[in-house]
Amino acid sequence: MESPFGIGQSANRFMRRIQSGMHAKVRTLGENVAKDIGPHGGFILNTLAEGEPMPVQELVRIMARDKSQMTRKIKDLEAKSLIVRTQCPTDGRVSLLSLSDEGRDIQKKLQRALTSVIEEILSPLSEEEQSQLAQLLQKI
Amino acid sequence: MESPFGIGQSANRFMRRIQSGMHAKVRTLGENVAKDIGPHGGFILNTLAEGEPMPVQELVRIMARDKSQMTRKIKDLEAKSLIVRTQCPTDGRVSLLSLSDEGRDIQKKLQRALTSVIEEILSPLSEEEQSQLAQLLQKI
DNA sequence: TATTGTTATACTCTATAACTATA
DNA sequence: TATAGTTATAGAGTATAACAATA
């Protein structure tokens, strides 16, 4: 389990645990909205929170997803009034995305939930090991 | 980016890169079969290779996926003659799964491809850091 | 009664290509 | 011509519950 291959397997299971942990947790939040935006919806809100307003293109880059997926998901979130779209004043092709107040509210709840899910998964690691892991992952 | 939250984001991107890297690579293998079994199909073959014969239940546990998904995927792979199912002699409820010769052949190709994709992604890390990462991920 | 595995359904994510509009 | 974003479509993964068969 020390080959690159093993790393892939472990990382896969790690992500799976985050995913199903969040799925379970979000249901307890009692937020219909949170449940209805899907994992990607939450990911988008969290990403926007790190730097808004953000062009669609940058969101695509950061999330490493296809732009056509983004278009659809953004439309969903916009229809649910969680994000707001404005035209870029200097480039007519560019849409800038921001969180609405409601979107920001949900984003905070989701981020707290996600943090606690990940904390739980990381609990077998010491503080030092956790920051080691963070650094290694960030490096790649 | 040192919070648990940041770790989640990095891990997510890591998995994404593996996923799209494999998608691109598998196309170059010229193996129609490999392309048609999907990421999970490959994952199942790889998991079986680590310990066959394996009951469905254990596959489900290792892959941390839902059993209903497994049922369908297993049926696919069986129809493509990549895996073989035998009844457990001591427990009539249990199906044991093994790789067929063709399945093993494809599994080896996929594992090589996956290994090289991951190696590429991990290349910014030194050998020591890579084994550190492997250990940390395995611990959780 | 509990466990192994299957079926059915509805939803979400992913890949691709063709397209519009602006630069 | 190149880039930002949209549309359409087909394929794959995910969650849930209800079910049959065996232990």
Kindly report the CATH number assigned to the domain that includes residue A102: 1.10.10.10
Q: How far apart are the first and last CA of chain A?
A: 20
Helix (H) / strand (E) element for A95: namely: strand A95-99
Local confidence band at B2 (pLDDT 50, 70, 90 cut-offs)? low
> Chain A closest CA to B22's CA: distance in Å?
12
**B129 lies in some domain:** no
Average pLDDT rounded to a whole number, residues A36-65 = 93
The confidence score (pLDDT) of residue B18 equals 93
Q: What is the pLDDT of residues B52-74, one digit of tens each?
A: 899 999 999 999 999 999 999 99
Q: Which of B13, B16, B134 sits opposite A7 (nearest CB)?
A: B134
**Exposed e or buried b per residue across B53-86, where buried means at least 16 C-beta atoms within 10 angstroms of its C-beta:** bbebebbbebbebeeeebeebbebbbebebbbee
Q: Which of residues 71-110 of B touch A (CB under 8 A)?
A: none
Q: Tell me what the mean pLDDT of segment A105-111 comes to.
A: 93
How many CA atoms lie less than 13 Å away from B86 in the CB half-sphere? 9
What integer pLDDT is reported at residue B39 of this predicted model? 92
Per-residue confidence (pLDDT) for residue B4, from 0 to 100: 84
Test A14 with B11 for CB contact under 8 angstroms.
yes
pLDDT band at A4 (very low <50, low <70, confident <90, very high): confident
The minimal CB distance from A133 to the residues B46, B124, B136 is found for: B136
Rounded to the nearest 5 percent, the helix, strand and coil shares of chain B are 70, 10, 20
Which distant-in-sequence residues (6+ apart) come within 8 Å of A45 by Cβ?
A: A37, A77, A82, A83, A99, A103, A106, A107, A110
**Which structural domain range is residue B48 located in?**
4-118
Residues near A28 by Cβ (< 8 Å), separated by ≥ 6? none
Domain count for chain A: 1
Inside any domain, residue B79: yes
pLDDT at B27 over 90: no
Residues of chain A with pLDDT > 70, as a percent, come to 94
In a domain, B134, yes or no: no
Which residue type does A61 have?
Answer: R
Rg (CA), chain B: 17
Q: Alpha helix (H) ranges present in chain A?
A: 4-28, 32-36, 38-49, 56-63, 67-79, 101-122, 127-139
| pLDDT at A116 (0 to 100) | 94
CB atoms within 10 A of CB B1: 12
Residue A39's pLDDT band (cuts 50, 70, 90): very high
Q: With H, G, I as helix, E, B as strand and everything else as coil, classify residue B98.
A: strand
Q: What is the mean pLDDT of residues A65-74?
A: 95
